[in-house]
Chain A
Amino acid sequence: MEIVRSQRKPSASHDVDVAPTLPIYRSAPALEVRLEDFELFAIDRLRVLKGISDGLSRGKKPDELEKLVTDLWKAHMRHPQTSEVVNKDIISHFVLRLVYCRTEELRKWFLSIETTLFRYRFRPESSDVQLSVLLMMLIRLAFEFQKALMAEFDLPYKAVSNAEYEGLKDKLSQVARSIGQSLPSGNYGSLSGISDRIFYKVPFEEVPELVASRRVYIQKGHAYVAMNQVVSLVVTQFRSHLSKALVLTNRKWTSIIREQEKDRLTPIVEALSTGYLGPDYSQPKEYAEISLKDINQVAKTSFPLCMRHLFEKLREDHHLKHGGRMQLGLFLKGVGLKLDDALAFWKAEFSRKVGAERFDKEYAYSIRHNYGKEGKRTDYTPYSCQKVISSTPGVGDHHGCPYRHFSEENLRAALGNMGVSNRALEDVIDKVRNRHYQLACTLTFEAVHASSCDAGINHPNQYFSESQKIMESKVNLLS
């Protein structure tokens, strides 16, 4: 991809107008791009990605996400010239690759959101059973298109033979029923009958998301993927391709591009990543010091519910399981608890349950590890709301997002303890019912601090620092 500073050049895409509207970004196109577009397109795409990221952390369901993606795409990715729409898509994608290839954390975020975007753009609207002939044609086209895409990714899959299908029919229909669909009993003439009877037999490793949600039948290492699930296969390929590409881009970036472009693209690229993702709170800055003696007080006033709950459980049980230790431990690090204080803090609690010696031997390592003093020596970043919300606490676990993982009864009790008034409480519960967990947390913040929080809560450490700001201003008012 070439970047030119001024006049736009004639686009090469006139004769390729039959190209699929969903590019798979195999390789960077040989296009010339104006510098303004370079940045503007990227910002537009970032708006889409950020919107998806927010939607994910609110726990939106697939159909809601599909609508969200469509809306976001329409709102931001349009271009006055129809011929340029595809180019804008491709250019913005490759610019953001540069922006988000530079650290593991950035790559992870970009990979996960771009994959989601791809998935929902790929999804043909096919779940409706009442299909008119016209719709059937559309679906047929979509299937054709999916097949074309599959060919482009070189997927060597063949449909399951009729004989094999007959042998597995019962199991396959059991799976279909278990996910609320039905396997048509063989209307051979109809199009839907045929397409629903097409299954691809693939190694289970290639459809992890279908395996994870038990939406496929698996036998001897092979998953039987229905035609309408093929999107999952393609998404997996897309993801692994993009993942590898990001690593390669990063190498190119550090070895050549950064230096070559240091006056032109590098500043744009570096500005783009921070502007929209927000700080990662890996380095405590504003309220860098929090000492052990203050921690009880601070926990009461300024911890978000997820951390407060962990903190109280730790005080109560003198123990937390791994997930809880990570969530609270990294949060405290972000809040500004020094390594030595952190060790002392955890030791004081754990030693009452397991003894000081066992603490030193079994638990101290992982605390030092979190601070980047052991093992890989990575300085781990505190968990964001998205990460907390998407965790899956099990038996004996107290981590996760209370708004998502508590039963309503327990959540009400917990909010009551925080001093949330009845009226505010109902508002919070209402948000929770609609799965707006971060909004629920924001409302809680506002109720507890009697002050608005316009930015919204998207990181436990942000909750903390916002809270501290308010506390401090109150103190200043008093004095």
Chain B
Amino acid sequence: MTKEEAENGRDDMLIDGCEPEQGQGNAVPDGFNVNYLKVYYVLGLHERHGCNLPIYYNGLLKSNLLVVLGFRDAYDKLKQRKSQQEWKEMLVLQAVKEKPAESMTCNASRFDLDAESFKYSSLHGLSLFDVLSVTTSIDSLYLDGKHPACDQSYFGRREFSFTLDNDIYLRFQSFNSASELENAVKEKCPFKIDIGPVYSVDPARRHAYAQAGDNVFTPMERELVFDIDITDYDDVRYCCSGACVCLDCWPLMTVAIKVLDTALRGDFGFNHILWVYSGRRGVHCWVCDTKARRLSNEQRAAIADYFRVYKGNENSNRKVSLMGPALHPFLARSYTDVLRKFFEEKLLISQMLFSNEERYEKILEMIPDESITAELRGKWQENRRSSIGNRDINVVRWEQLKHVLQSGKHKGLRRCVEEVVFSYTYPRLDMEVCAILLLSHPLLSLKGCVCVPIDPNHCEDFDPTTVPTLSKLLEEINMGGLRAEGDDEWDRTSLGKSVRYFRAAFLQPLLKSCKEEIEDSYSAKIEQSKNSQSW
């Protein structure tokens, strides 16, 4: 069957129920289409729960949701009671067919796809939406736990907010159980899900409490989150700008992960840290330790400031200032273990930092001594073609600069070398995020890219350009999903590895430590009450 035939024959195919040939009929075009999301919800929901498809769709039929979603054909077919298999194909194909070009271009950026959450659905018997976020997996322990010390209200006090189609923004949603949340997602089909804090009282009923007076509506816990955007590095990368990322500038993110991860674990003693590729232009870091969730705003700001060396704004030249006769151990360690090596061995060459006047002037600007800058400038301007042999011009010039600054002749300028390296490589954190209450779902993605976790121990292997897209996943499910309805269906898709990492390295240890905490506090309580009884 040629491609053309396949397209022409699409309707027939549906009617006849014949299986499309692999790689052709199943091909889902790249890019983002809002209908992918809808199909995703529908298929994902169904497959996770193994419920009877027609029954589920009967629900859809009743609520008219299919028509609302634009699956008019599907709606019609539903009336004819087609088989499950046909349903699935039809929906996927329908989604492809209805992909409107214009909605792709102008809407693409705002649709966050909640693909990832579906992957974790089969975890440990937790239901799909328990793992809607990393955090709800903690919540769900409280929820599912039969343990007497479980705080049953915990999950219900967590705020969710949905962004629906037509820019309807629903804040302060809360749910008493995973299935309630699940139903809400099914019903409302949100494009974007934000996760708020766990409040002192149920956020949906905050007004009722406000009148009671005593029980104040105030946030109690929320995860500690950092956001690093590649767009913030535009002044030190020459390969891309804006939201673009390539393999030459991505290592800047890798370095950021290494520096921060080491400090979050080693200095601050956090253990449950999740790094995710945001699917667009950077990485998010979620710190989920109980201790981290209970930090006050002031304490959060203190951590952010601890990490902060980059003080430049658009209206001043000096970007980094490292004062004092010595570096703080954290900065010194970051410098010797990560930054220097990365700057000299990678960034210098990949971004060609000294290759032309405009670029090296930017570095010379950071040296406050004019005689030195004049000397170097002179050398580089005339020496353009002289005997540097086969050596890379960037490396040579960097060595010259270092030599002059570190020769000892110029006191007080030694720190300059470090300042340059820090300016170019040190992680640039988005500080605002630390204070904002609502946090984007860590596993959401944009533009059809799926967010995937990054293993900080192997972060240099991560390649943002090969991250699975939603269309690719749909295609894979479409091909494989029909045959097996097993638990680990995701294993066969390109997300399999990410899922395994997420479970083994992050989720399980987190659940375990939460459980231990609950048990510890419970047994402490028992112990206490025993003691008081013996009196």
**Residues on A facing B (Cβ under 8 Å):** 171, 174-175, 177-180, 204-205, 208-209, 211-214, 217-222, 247, 251, 255, 322-323, 355, 357-358, 360-362, 364-365, 374-375, 392-398, 400, 402, 405-407, 410
Contacts and interface: CB of A to CB of B under 8 A. Distances in A.
A400 B315 CA distance: 10
Nearest to B172: A375
B327 interface: yes
Nearest to A408: B316
A298 B61 CA distance: 58
Interface string B211-238: 0010010000000000000011011000
A398 B328 contact: no
Contacts of A402: 315
B332 A395 contact: no
Interface stretch (B66-74, B84-92, B102-110): B102-110
Contacts of B163: 361
Contacts of B330: 214, 218
B305 A213 contact: yes
Contacts of A171: 329
B326 interface: yes
B412 interface: no
Contacts of A217: 329
B313 A400 contact: yes
A208 B298 contact: yes
B126 interface: no
Contacts of B326: 174, 177-178
Interface in B201-218: 213, 216
Interface stretch (B40-48, B244-252, B266-274, B390-398): B266-274
B310 interface: yes
A405 B313 contact: yes
Interface of B: 106-107, 109-110, 163, 167, 169, 171, 213, 216, 231-232, 234-235, 266-270, 291, 295-296, 298-299, 301-303, 305-306, 308, 310-318, 324-332, 428, 431-432
Contacts of A322: 432
A255 to B, nearest CB: 8
A402 to B, nearest CB: 7
B327 A178 contact: yes
A204 to B, nearest CB: 6
Given A178-B326, A178-B327, A218-B267, 5 more contacts: A174-B328, A174-B329, A221-B270, A395-B428, A398-B313
A365 B110 CA distance: 14
A133 to B, nearest CB: 29
Contact of B110 (A179, A358, A395): A358
A312 to B, nearest CB: 12
B312 A394 contact: yes
Contact of B109 (A209, A358, A396): A358
B324 A180 contact: yes
Nearest to B233: A395
A220 B266 contact: yes
B418 to A, nearest CB: 12
Nearest to A218: B267
B267 A398 contact: no
A205 B270 CA distance: 12
A394 B268 contact: no
Contacts of B107: 357
A220 B291 CA distance: 12
Contacts of B216: 247
B193 to A, nearest CB: 15
Contacts of B315: 398, 402, 405-407, 410
B324 A179 contact: yes
Contacts of A255: 213
A394 B303 contact: no
Contacts of B269: 219-222
Nearest to A414: B315
Contacts of A180: 324-325
Contacts of B268: 204, 218, 221
Contacts of A360: 167
A365 B171 CA distance: 12
A322 B216 CA distance: 29
A398 B313 CA distance: 7
A216 B324 CA distance: 14
Contacts, number: 123
A175 B326 CA distance: 8
Contacts of A211: 302-303, 305-306
Contacts of B310: 394-395
Nearest to A409: B317
Contacts of B325: 177-178, 180
Contact of A397 (B298, B303, B308, B313): B313
A395 B232 contact: yes
A219 B324 contact: no
5 contacts: A177-B325, A214-B331, A251-B213, A398-B313, A410-B315
Nearest to A220: B269
A214 B167 contact: no
Kindly name the residue among B213, B308, B314, B325 whose own CB sees the greatest number of chain A CB atoms within 10 A. Answer: B314
Nearest to B300: A208
Nearest to B191: A361
Contacts of A358: 106, 109-110
Nearest to B306: A211
Contacts of A407: 315-318
A396 B301 contact: no
A355 B313 contact: no
**7 A-B pairs with the lowest CB-CB distances in the bound complex, closest first:** A221-B269, A208-B302, A212-B305, A177-B326, A393-B313, A212-B302, A407-B316
Contacts of A179: 324
A83 B303 CA distance: 44
Contacts of A357: 106-107
A175 B331 CA distance: 10
Contacts of B308: 392
Instruction: Select the residue from A204, A213, A374 with max chain B CB neighbours within 10 A.
Output: A204
A208 B216 CA distance: 25
A355 B109 CA distance: 11
Nearest to B428: A395
B313 A208 contact: no
B299 A208 contact: yes
A209 B463 CA distance: 38
A211 B269 CA distance: 14
B324 A178 contact: yes
B164 to A, nearest CB: 11
B106 to A, nearest CB: 6
B376 to A, nearest CB: 21
Contacts of A218: 267-268, 306, 330
A219 to B, nearest CB: 6
A362 B109 CA distance: 10
Given A179-B324, A208-B299, A220-B269, A395 B106 contact: no
Contacts of B432: 322-323
B301 A174 contact: no
Contact of B314 (A175, A208, A396): A396
A461 B73 CA distance: 59
A322 B436 CA distance: 11
Contacts of B327: 174, 178
Contacts of A405: 313, 315-316
Contact of A410 (B106, B301, B316): B316
Contact of B428 (A205, A247, A394): A394
Contacts of A410: 315-316
Contacts of A355: 106
B431 A392 contact: yes
A135 B305 CA distance: 35
Contacts of A397: 313-314
A330 B301 CA distance: 23
Contacts of B314: 393, 395-398
Contacts of A209: 302
Q: Quick one: which of B235, B331, B432 has the most chain A CB within 10 A? A: B432
B419 to A, nearest CB: 15
B110 A361 contact: yes
Nearest to B105: A355
